[in-house]
Amino acid sequence: MTKEFRKYWLPVIVWAALIFSVSSISRFPKEVQPIFSVDGIPHALEYAVFGFLLARAFKNEDNREILRNNFRLLAVLAAVLYGASDEFHQYFVPMRTASAVDLIYDGIGSCIGQLFCKNKI
């Protein structure tokens, strides 16, 4: 494992694994929340961190200029795709549901998170 991988991509993998593991925990379903609810804040925060970590990793790709030049867009796309796969995964977890509203919060969070990634790291 290279130093660059450990520094930039390992945190992405660890954070994605953490998201997956928390999503695997069964819980009792709650009442349907309005679109602007407190429940969306944890989703936005976890994906803000994920968006930042992805942007940081893409920005520091040594051998792939296309990744470096498009790191913000790629970070949001990767985070939203992961969020969609996570919602799909939750569909199969007992007492959990897939939610388009949660995916929207994931996307909002990833957009915010990538903004904190500087152009020069």
Please, what are the averages of pLDDT over each run of 10 residues along the chain (121 residues)?
Answer: 90 96 78 59 94 95 86 96 95 88 94 87 50
- Give the pLDDT score at 32: 54
- Give the pLDDT score at 28: 56
CB 96 within 8 A of CB 26: yes
- Give the pLDDT score at 64: 84
- Give the pLDDT score at 40: 82
Segments in the chain forming alpha helices (H)? 3-4, 10-23, 40-59, 65-69, 71-91, 100-115
Instruction: Please calculate the CA angle 108-18-107 and round it to the nearest 5 degrees.
Output: 10
